[in-house]
Homo-oligomer: A and B are copies of this chain.
């Protein structure tokens, strides 16, 4: 019955309710506002009366009106590429990052506004701020292409707080939170060297993602550190999809059979899995004929045969950290310095990274 009454009120008498609460508590509307928003000084006894009156009349302030009055949307925008069917990135990646962002945003009283960016769509991020839909935004899956650079430059111009996840741009010091892929790949190489491998290949992703370059750099550094040559013919290119890994399997199998490669690192797990499948079909045994290491340590690597050694990336923490830092910047607005966080990764070794008879034979 109360609920029903309220249903009607909700539609036409939103504003009048506050007045009624004020009357019932014997105070002015301003005091009601002060009590419910927790701002300003108010006698404890009065506060109790107001709370009780509000409870009794089932009054809750309208977030819509509050945000309008405060000129803050209270929303944290999250921009991510639309990813139906085509799983360019792994869904694991997105759901972890998103969860991290969501948890932190919630703790700090922000709502999450999800914004899917379609591939061909013009990237007008600044408009989100102009229309006051968000107070800050996190951009996932950004690429180093002119249109993206332009969109980000516009954000910078407008002094709109934003943060990149797993991406950075040469020459720009945009806020970003990333994994230390470079160190991760370096350690992957070191691990393979320790296993006795000497001819290590690398299956990378597109260079529009800065972490592709980071990984390659780590790979190269670790080789040079061990006085081994960096050979371009051992570096292959995929697009982070399973299919692209599968397609490169023939080439890799040929290299293995010719004795040109005894190990390979794939820049993400999906490509590693495609590779694994393709190699299996070509009769190359991963973990025996060749060692294989993936990247991300997504949940699927435990399900393959053999299980995949992989570089664990703290995606949840990346999301959480990005949201936290960004919301600091939103609160501080001008006073806060730019940040560029790199979170540590960790190599998780499993059966796939045994090489050339090291284990089984």
A: which residues have CB within 8 A of B?
Answer: 3-4, 6-7, 10, 14, 58, 60-65, 67-68, 71, 73, 75, 78, 82-85, 87, 91-92, 94-96, 98-100, 102-103, 106, 111-116, 127, 129-133, 154, 157-159, 242, 273, 277, 280, 299-300, 302-305, 316
Contact = CB atoms under 8 A, between A and B. Distances in A.
A88 to B, nearest CB: 12
A102 B78 CA distance: 12
Give the interface centre of A82, A102, A103 by most chain B CB atoms within 10 Å: A102
B65 A68 contact: yes
Contacts of A92: 91
A7 B157 contact: yes
B103 A84 contact: yes
A277 B351 CA distance: 15
11 contacts: A7-B157, A7-B159, A10-B129, A10-B158, A64-B132, A82-B103, A84-B96, A84-B99, A95-B95, A242-B302, A242-B303
Nearest to A68: B68
A131 B60 contact: yes
Contacts of A159: 7
A-side interface mostly:
helix
A156 to B, nearest CB: 9
Contacts of A280: 305
Contacts of A300: 300, 303
Given A103-B116, A130-B10, A158-B6, A64 B68 contact: yes
Contacts of A129: 10
Nearest to A157: B3
Give the interface centre of A91, A98, A102, A158 by most chain B CB atoms within 10 Å: A91
B111 A111 contact: no
Nearest to A11: B71
B131 A102 contact: no
Contact of A99 (B83, B112, B273, B277): B83
Contacts of A78: 114
Given A82-B102, A273-B303, A133 B64 contact: yes
Nearest to A111: B113
Given A99-B83, A299-B87, A304-B303, A64 B73 contact: yes
Contacts of A303: 242, 273, 277, 300, 303-304
Contacts of A305: 280, 305
Nearest to A298: B91
A132 B82 contact: no
Contact of A132 (B62, B98, B131, B158): B62
Contacts of A91: 91-92, 94-95, 299
B62 A131 contact: yes
Given A111-B113, A305-B305, A158 B3 contact: yes
A14 B131 CA distance: 10
A133 B10 CA distance: 13
